[in-house]
Amino acid sequence: MALIDKIASISNLLEAWEKVSGKKSYAGYDGITGSGFSKNLQFNLETLSYELTHNLYQPYCPKPSRKDKRISMLTIRDRLVCYAILNELEGILSPNLSRHSYAYQKEKSTFSALDRAKNSIFNLSLTHYFKSDFTHFFDSIDHFQLLAQIDSHIKCLSTQELLKKIIQINVVADGQLISKTQGLIWGNPLSPLLSNLYMINVDQNLGDYFPLYIRYSDDILIGLGKPITPSELNFINDQLKSMKLSLNKKKTAMGSFADGVPYLGSDLKTRVEDDRKRLASLYINPSIEDKDLSKYLNSEVDYILVTFYKQHHGLEAIMDSDFEWDGIDLEKMKSVATGEGPLIKKLGYMSDIFVYSGRYDFAEEVNKFIKLVENMKGLSEPDIEICQSIHKLFFQEQKNYFLGTYTNGQREYKIVNKVMHFEDLRLLISKQGSVAIRLLKTTNDSSIFVLDIDIEKKVLLEFDGYEKVIEGLLRQALTYALSIQAILKSYNISAYIEFSGYKGYHVWIFLTKEMSPTLFWEHIRPLFLNIYKPKGVQVEYLPKMLYEDQELIKVPYSYHEVTKLQATFITSEGISVTDHLFIDEICRNDIETINGVELSFEKSIIPIEEYLVENPCQLSDFPDYITELFNQCKLMKRIVDKAFIHNYLNHFERNAILYTFGHCGQIGKRFVHFVISQCLNYNSTITENYLQKLQSFPVSCAKLKLRFSDLYGECSCDFSSYPLFYPSPVIFAFRKNNIVVTKPDYIQHDIQVQQTIALYETSQISELADQLVALTKSKNKIEKEIRICVVKLEDLFEKNNINEYETDIGKLIRVENEWLFKLKLNS
């Protein structure tokens, strides 16, 4: 498949639409907002797809932002196309970008740039730096050179032409429409990627020339083993000049790393000889790679733990120094350097070391963190009654347990093949130990089930150090857990939420008897499918199906191996439970209650059949093509089931019913009323208004998959026998009745081409009219300036009594009322 076809595919355009619709949508010059575009989304996407594949697409002129004139607002359709291009180009171009470039790339960040800088300074013994940024970077990018780079990396001619249209689009400046030969649009999603592509050769040349070269967008840092020379400065300027770029003199600095240099929010320094500063540098500013725990950043406590954790070389650096360490306990240093021991004790040691080495400011910061950690502890001492309650809840039938450890950046659980006694549990909790159990029995059954709700690891990495972001995600994860608890409660199923002590929550469900995980989750999981799951949050259902595949789960009120925070049950307000009575009163659910959930779902089919039997006059209203669609499409069946069971459908679910059954003739529209009337907030007038405004085409499977991704894993529909139709549930009904059911006709050449050409020609007329007005204004302004210039020249020639004058470019001659130039010709 050609690259342009991938870009223009409906699935890719839908993915791009999700990115556009997920952001604030302001109208561009076409006046269409995001909500306006979404009203005819299917048609708009198909129109765009046709325009892109037939080279008919023409972007609108970007609209300057009122808040920031440097930023331009693209139309919704143009922004969508740019994201569609970006979806495909990132995978093609990213591997070819320079390793010295760190901005606007998924696998890179300011942290990785700083990590590289710090490692290079130390490993290459770099002593001096040169730092600057580019003057008006985005605005200076030359179109000709950028298009040459595009042509060399992208072989699809149609995609080359598309990018050329987007890059060379006319812009508005001072109320006039002008064409430009340089500059990328601020606000275009493609601009960051294209700027990195533009810099490939310069990045490579400077990276090969200097021991250290890093570029983060327009910020560059060069590291050397000596002060930079004039010839090296000339080399930098020549490289930038070749790309029509220049250094910002106001932002240019050079000097010694020993004095420090601010770069990307960090202060870079060499390893100084002063042992006290050296010690502070080792512990306060470790590199990202040195922080083995960095990917587990969660709360401020985690940040403390990571920041002060060091590898073996930290200890070696202390031991090898010439400073007199007699006044400090080397065991304390060892504890800090290797990350061993409880967090509070380790931080106390760190404070002692800084006090002894004269770094009182750092010691003060550590002491603040110690107070913070102490305030965040769930229980300062093990509560005997809570330990008894936890022991009774989890260990009565356990023949073994697992102890968690964290060493050398690795979490491990070691099995203890003996029964856990109460005193053993109390001792482990008093030592901030981590205790885990295996939920599944050797019979592959379990009486305890858990939803493990965590922040995704990739999100933790992406927002490394941004505590407020992580805290916000934790709040969203808690809201999600509370929603699950509430849904379960509506089915008379008791569930209990526990803060895991790290990056999420556990929802515990206890049963009176053991049950197969397969059967349990088949009953329970459908209840959660309509709950909004926040982005960046993942859910794991435990236990899994086989004993051999089991992951362990830490029991509440033991401590997390990494953070040393205590995991506790929490109330609906998110407050840690410290009363043992809460644990003693935990309710175990009957298996009959769990099985009853399935019966509730089975009723979703029965009410329709019973309704038809009890109301025979309406039996003819639902012929075979309606029931065929209902029975064959699992998603439609689930949604109709929900209407009958819960008497509620959300907006997207109502639309799904509307744009499937609503395209099955008048009887199908009656069925829409019939289903939605089961909802408590049903309004026949509003439903009928929606039916009257029904779009021309039924909903596609692609759009349904986008809206109901959690449910679509079960879809196995095969519409290959209808190659001229786009996949849609209405095909099931069309098989039974091809007269009243709307065809999901994907092609419709004549109508589609006519509508597309009409749209294209209309947009051309509008754009050309704007261009004509702008050019006319420009012409009038220039003619006025010429007249003023002529009057001034006339006056000067009269005063000096001359009719000709020698200028740098030639002789200016006045002949009656005309002005002539006799230009100089170079020999």
Confidence of residue 288 (pLDDT cuts 50, 70, 90): very low
360 and 429 inside one domain:
no
d(CA 787, CA 262): 54
Q: pLDDT at residue 96 above 70?
A: yes
| Structural domain includes residue 21 | yes
Q: Are 135 and 248 in contact (CB under 8 A)?
A: yes
Return all residues near 794 (Cβ < 8 A) that are at least 6 apart. 814
| Span 46-91, pLDDT tens digits | 889 988 998 889 888 887 765 555 667 788 899 999 999 999 999 8
Q: pLDDT at residue 619 above 50?
A: no
Q: Are 115 and 221 in contact (CB under 8 A)?
A: no
CATH number of the domain encompassing residue 453: 3.90.920.20
430 and 314 inside one domain:
no
d(CA 153, CA 187): 24
67 and 192 inside one domain:
yes
Q: What is the arithmetic mean of pLDDT over 223-245? A: 93
| Span 327-383, pLDDT tens digits | 444 455 555 544 444 555 666 666 666 665 555 566 666 666 565 545 444 334 457
Sheet holding 818-823, edge to edge: 804-806, 810-815, 818-823
Strands 553-554 and 434-437: antiparallel
Q: What is the arithmetic mean of pLDDT over 32-47? A: 83
Q: What is the arithmetic mean of pLDDT over 493-511? A: 92
Q: Are 298 and 460 in contact (CB under 8 A)?
A: yes
d(CA 668, CA 670): 5
Look up the pTM and report it.
0.39
722 and 788 inside one domain:
no
d(CA 184, CA 207): 24
628 and 577 inside one domain:
no
| Structural domain includes residue 230 | no
Return all residues near 604 (Cβ < 8 A) that are at least 6 apart. 637, 640, 641, 642, 644, 645
732 and 752 inside one domain:
no
Neighbouring-strand partners of residue 254: 130
| Span 513-532, pLDDT tens digits | 999 888 888 888 878 766 76
Taking alpha carbons only, the member of 469, 474, 494 closest to residue 484 is: 494
Q: What is the arithmetic mean of pLDDT over 27-47? A: 81
Look at the chain and report how many structural domains it folds into: 5
561 and 424 inside one domain:
yes
581 and 607 inside one domain:
no
Return all residues near 67 (Cβ < 8 A) that are at least 6 apart. none
722 and 804 inside one domain:
no
791 and 697 inside one domain:
no
613 and 470 inside one domain:
no
Q: What is the pLDDT of residue 146?
A: 94
Report the 3 state secondary structure along 229-255.
Answer: CHHHHHHHHHHHHHCCCCECHHHCEEE
| Structural domain includes residue 500 | yes
Q: pLDDT at residue 299 above 80?
A: no
Report, in angstroms and rounded to the nearest whole number, the Rg of the chain calculated over CA atoms.
35
The backbone region for 516, taken as left when phi is positive above 0, alpha when psi lies in -120 to 50, beta otherwise, is beta
Domain that holds residue 557: 396-588
d(CA 72, CA 273): 51
| Structural domain includes residue 224 | no
| Structural domain includes residue 264 | no
Taking alpha carbons only, the member of 346, 327, 325 closest to residue 283 is: 346
The secondary structure of residue 451, as a DSSP letter, is: E
Q: pLDDT at residue 823 above 60?
A: yes
The backbone region for 665, taken as left when phi is positive above 0, alpha when psi lies in -120 to 50, beta otherwise, is left
Confidence of residue 714 (pLDDT cuts 50, 70, 90): low
Burial label for 255, CB within 10 Å (0-12, 13-18, 19+), is middle
